[in-house]
Structure 1
Amino acid sequence: MHDLLILYEHPEWFRPLFAALDARGVDYVARTPDGDWNPADPTPPARVVLNRIAMSSFLRSDEHPIFHVTAMLDHWARAGVRVINGAEVLAIDSSKARQLSLLSRLGLAIPETRVVHRAADVEGAAAEVGYPLVVKANIGGSGAGIMRFDSVHELRAVVAAGDLPRSVDGVLLVQDYVPARGGTITRIETLAAKHLYSIEVAGGGAFDLCPADACVEGSGISMRAVEPAAELVDAAERVAQAMRLDVGGVEVMVDDRDGVPRFYDINALSNFVAKPRQVLGWDPHERLVDFIQEQIGGSR
């Protein structure tokens, strides 16, 4: 049995992680979730499973693995496998509505939001939220499935044409458009529910903010390392603890209208910042491998 199975989907994002594992001599196998699995077979696939399935996988294939993997990870956890970012994490990662509920429950400010599952309910929800607003797919990735509306007339025309964003789970968010102060957001990355690093990201309008190498090329997005206020770091760590997030990021922006930090997204797929040694001065993959080796040691 291998010490580690990495379950991944994106063909490029995880080469730095594979290289870091190779350099340490970690016994691992990496594979996609394609194929089948037997729900009556309790055989562990490895001592530890690392879930690296991206919510944006639906953009690369209509036959995306999000729901398939959620069930598979739950099955393996029931067989006693240590799953890093397991099914319970994936269930929240794959629902912006659940993310916002969790954030609010922890006492954190979020954008005013209504959750709907029918196009017929969008206009009524928009009247409660007010304009300008955005309509978001509940499952998105790299800014996919977000439209801004400045008036009810714009919204009605799109609804009538059947051109609203579509979410693969049929759920939409109608959300206040928050003007981010300075046009930037802060992504606070955590590992083992502790602050790992933070970056300030600009150029995506809070819509298309992906720090991975594959997202940055030609995107116009820029980023720099920052040290957020202690209360923001504490908030991100509480989020990670509450959802049992082993590794991932929490995104926050300061509302330019009132100066309130509003938390709006949780990303369990942390593929880390592009060119980390240039941006951070060190490589977070090394810390991730430390954590993975600790989990392997605890599973023996």
Structure 2
Amino acid sequence: MSLLPATPVVHVLHENPDWFGPFQAAFEAAGVPYREWLLVDGVLDLDEAPPAGIFWSRISASAHTRGHGMSKDYTRSVLNWLEAYGARTVNGRRTIELEVSKVDQLTRLRAQGFDVPRTRVVVGTHRLAEAAADFPTPFITKHNQGGKGLGVQKFDSAAELAAAIAAGEYAEPEDGISLLQEFVVSAHAEVTRVEIVGDEFIYAITADTARGGYQLCPADACAIDPTTGALLLPPGATIMPEAGQQIFALREGFEHPIIDRYRDFLRTEGIEIAGIEFIETADARVVTYDVNTNTNYNAEIEAAAPKSGPGAIVAYLAGVLAASYPQVGGKP
């Protein structure tokens, strides 16, 4: 979108055009001015003031899997610069730390009283089997800088984990940090994700873990192999998805005290847009395990939902833009 530099717009900081389509459509349908800023590589002049507008970060913890290993630190630099100049950010500098660190997410969730999986943090893959020696079994491993189920594998013993590492079957985490985590068993082979935008509950969805395994990205691009276009059997899945089959479903009429607790959590952490995932166990635990701050939306869910996730985000951003530039109503 071509706009004059002085025009206040919503600057969208991201690194994956494949995920941007639904948001682009929502911006254009609402007539909200925006500009994409791909944080893959570039030049940043710290002596130059930021352009007019607000800045929404959609940087993902899995950027390195798309060849964008520099995006995380580039984003840190850009957000430091923006906030030093007083620019209005949405999911700003603090949020990127939560996005790229499961440890950060779990410690903050635990601090606010949420039930989270028992977790042991291991720095250095060579220490994993040793750390697992007295850990309750079965357990899963997980990459600290996650997304798309990175590094998530189930093991029945420390010896099995040691053998997998020796065989090269455990991928080295991007930041060198792995998690050993209790294997939480869902009562219904599903997890729930709660979508919140600007303190508003949008909707909840369920994900079929039998077919989705540990890779529960709802974006349509996550369902197929980017090279062959073939359907993928995600890590941890036990049933191969079929063409046209959805692993996500709208959780209609979802009312639960966890919604308000998540809203409180996000307010406390300064996060404005997120999808938070939890598991309901057979023994009545509600276990929260993931905070996704670059949340994506599934097209089938959007067609059935009472309100649109991307639409709610664009409406919220339009309000922030207007409040930040009242003299022009947020528009050129």
Indicate whether 1:266 and 2:291 are aligned: yes
Other-structure match for 2:249: 224
Other-structure match for 1:127: 133
Paired AA for residue 11 in structure 2: L
Indicate whether 1:189 and 2:195 are aligned: yes
Between stretches 55-64 and 165-174, larger displacement belongs to: 55-64
Indicate whether 1:236 and 2:262 are aligned: yes
Between stretches 93-102 and 136-145, larger displacement belongs to: 136-145
CA distance in 2, matches of 1:229, 1:288: 21
Q: Is the 8 A contact 2:249 2:301 kept in 1?
A: no
CA distance in 2, matches of 1:128, 1:205: 30
Q: Is the 8 A contact 2:197 2:274 kept in 1?
A: yes
Q: Is the 8 A contact 1:108 1:262 kept in 2?
A: yes
How big is the shift at 1:51? 0.9
CA distance in 2, matches of 1:232, 1:41: 44
Between stretches 190-199 and 213-222, larger displacement belongs to: 213-222
Secondary structure in 1 matching 2:146: coil
Q: Is the 8 A contact 1:224 1:279 kept in 2?
A: no
Paired AA for residue 211 in structure 1: P
- 258, 261, 280: which one aligns with 1:254: 280
Other-structure match for 1:68: 74
Per-residue CA shift, 1:264-298, capped at 9, x if unaligned? 00000112233344331432222111111111112
Query: Is there any run of 5+ residues in structure 2 with no aligned partner, and where?
Result: 1-5, 225-230, 233-240, 326-332
How big is the shift at 1:176? 0.7
CA distance in 1, matches of 2:47, 2:301: 40
CA 1:274–1:142 in structure 2 vs 1: closer, same or farther (change >3 Å)?
Answer: farther
- What RMSD over aligned residues (CA atoms) do the two structures have, in Å? 1.9
Per-residue CA shift, 1:251-271, capped at 9, x if unaligned? 000123x22010000000112
CA distance in 1, matches of 2:44, 2:88: 19
Q: Is the 8 A contact 1:56 1:142 kept in 2?
A: yes
Paired AA for residue 70 in structure 1: R
CA 1:197–1:207 in structure 2 vs 1: closer, same or farther (change >3 Å)?
Answer: same
Other-structure match for 2:314: 289
CA distance in 2, matches of 1:174, 1:62: 26
CA 1:272–1:184 in structure 2 vs 1: closer, same or farther (change >3 Å)?
Answer: same
- 138, 142, 151: which one aligns with 1:136: 142
CA distance in 2, matches of 1:25, 1:173: 44
Paired AA for residue 282 in structure 1: K
CA distance in 1, matches of 2:132, 2:304: 39
Indicate whether 1:98 and 2:98 are aligned: no
Between stretches 266-275 and 154-163, larger displacement belongs to: 154-163
CA distance in 2, matches of 1:272, 1:146: 22
Per-residue CA shift, 1:60-117, capped at 9, x if unaligned? 1153411221221121111111111111001111100110101111111111100110
TM-score (norm 2): 0.84
Structure 1 ranges of 4+ moved more than 6 A: none
CA distance in 1, matches of 2:68, 2:32: 33
Q: Is the 8 A contact 1:213 1:275 kept in 2?
A: no
- 125, 133, 150: which one aligns with 2:156: 150
How big is the shift at 1:195? 1.4
How big is the shift at 1:228? 3.6
How big is the shift at 1:162? 5.0
Other-structure match for 2:324: 299
How big is the shift at 1:25? 2.2
CA distance in 1, matches of 2:14, 2:157: 41
Q: Is the 8 A contact 2:248 2:301 kept in 1?
A: no
Q: Is the 8 A contact 1:8 1:51 kept in 2?
A: yes
